[in-house]
Structure 1
Amino acid sequence: MVPIKVLKHRLKCITICSTSIFFILSICPAIVLSQDFTKTEKVSSKTKIGLNIGSYGIQTEYKLPLKEKQKISIKAGLFLMNFRQAISLNLAQESSLKVEPNFQSFGVSLKAERPLNNWLIIYFESRMFLKQKWQLNLSTKDGIDLNGLRIEASDFGQIDAALKWWFLQPGIGLEIGKNNTNKRINVTATIASFYMGSPKLNLSYEGFLETTTLQETIPQIENNMRNYSFYPAMSLNLTYRLTKSQK
């Protein structure tokens, strides 16, 4: 039998998701595969594929507008991100810090966009994370100096930090650049901001931090991190129409 607390949590998640989707539809991000759904004429001449590279990863799109003079288009898709690259920081002589990030995310997205003029498109997007892992591992092989305080490698040990945001993250953005319907290739740029919600921080460590009361301050750290809940995103977009335009 599922506990009542779990049922309440699931009901809350479903409610938030439904509200977000309804909000996007009523006013009408990594690898993303997306499909546009609109009402249309001349479907084949408007079919496009796209490649977006930005601060949130890599995104590919398949666009099929269904209306000659489109007002609103809807995109549904999948996104994926995987970043694991160790970084070694030389802080000073015989002082170094090794940072090992493990960033992984996967989920679905829903996007509604509307052109404001020939050069500007506004869009609203909601991303639902089916998986998100934002982890950092800190260690040192030489020891570190903190304002004159020397901590040897054996005393430093390891620090593992894991951060988790809301599984549903709404965002708003602008696409800048002219989409010339007479050209098969178009280049645009986007700027956006996503609201990540309240963070959940999990810390595990061994070494000198075991003698501190760091665990007791985690709620305060999480509260302070709410000031950084808005994630800015930028991308450069290249689109290619698969067929020639119909006159």
Structure 2
Amino acid sequence: MNYLKVNILCFSILLLGGHSFGKQLSDSLAFNKAVGIHIGTLGGGLSFAGKINKASNFVFKFGATYVGYGKLYNYNYNAKTVIRIAPDIRMGQSYLGVDYMPFKRKSFFVTGGISYFFDSKFAALTDSDTGFDTKDLVLSAEDFGKINFELKWNKLAPFLGLGLGKTISEKKRIAGNFELGSYYIGSPKILLDYTGVLDLTNIDEVIPQIENNMRGYSFLPYLKIQIYYNFK
């Protein structure tokens, strides 16, 4: 009987100890997560973030952003000439990144990751219904022609930045931060399709030199503000 009581007592201690250890382990590995919205120089979007536990200095995040502009602009060169410019500017991206918080208060972070520009276009179509009429040059609308200009950068772009504020908050439901950084998008390529007046020029021979001069335009800076809702 005494052996039975001892065994029951030992089993109870092990059971309670195991439950306590399991709870501590579960709490330490609790996955903190948040969903947020952001707006900035590259548009607005949604993002999701999480970290393995409260003590972790790393926050993992992924999200998407979109911005576009396509308003037609009529440039009145003079009383007889109106040049039409139709921009087609779109920038849609998805990204995967990580924030590292080096200090104890965790209000400053370094961020980095990779972005994929799935819908990116920087183009403009230029033409004129009036033609081009000045003192020195007169062109009909057909002779003026059309100019379709486009710049292309890499679709995959790594990014690096700094931020202030919090994404994951241990005490509050709402957290926010702002982030400043830059993408490396590579050297731009120029695509030019035209009819009319540019047929009389050597623009095709000049384009490689223009691309060479634009090699320094390989970085795309950004600034964004983010608001997150934390799940408890």
- TM-score relative to the length of structure 1: 0.70
Choose which of 218, 221, 224 in structure 2 pairs with 1:232: 221
Residues 1:99 and 2:85 are matched in the alignment: yes
Distance 2:62 2:228 in 1: 17
1:155 is paired with a residue whose SS is: helix
1:139 corresponds to which letter in structure 2? D
Residue 6 of structure 2 corresponds to which residue in structure 1?
none
Return the offset for 1:88. Answer: 1.1
Q: Pairwise CA RMSD of aligned residues?
A: 2.9
Q: Please show how residues 133-212 of structure 1 align to structure 2 within 5 Å.
A: 133-143=121-131, 153-178=141-166, 180-212=169-201
Contact 1:97 1:140 in 2 (8 A): yes
Return the offset for 1:173. Answer: 0.9
Residues 1:85 and 2:67 are matched in the alignment: no
2:87 corresponds to which letter in structure 1? P
Q: For structure 2, list consecutive stretches of 5 or more residues without a partner in the other structure.
A: 1-26
CA deviations over 1:40-62 (Å, ceiling 9, x no partner)? 6333xx32111001111212112
> Over alpha carbons, which structure has the higher Rg?
2
How many residue pairs match? The answer is: 202
1:173–1:213: structure 2 CA closer, same or farther, 3 Å change rule?
A: same
- TM-score relative to the length of structure 2: 0.74
Return the offset for 1:143. Answer: 4.5
Q: Please show how residues 35-54 of structure 1 align to structure 2 within 5 Å.
A: 41-43=29-31, 46-54=32-40
Residue 16 of structure 2 corresponds to which residue in structure 1?
none
Residues 1:70 and 2:59 are matched in the alignment: no
Distance 1:240 1:148 in 2: 63
CA deviations over 1:117-165 (Å, ceiling 9, x no partner)? 4432110121134453332212233456799766554432211112221
Q: For structure 1, list consecutive stretches of 5 or more residues without a partner in the other structure.
A: 1-38
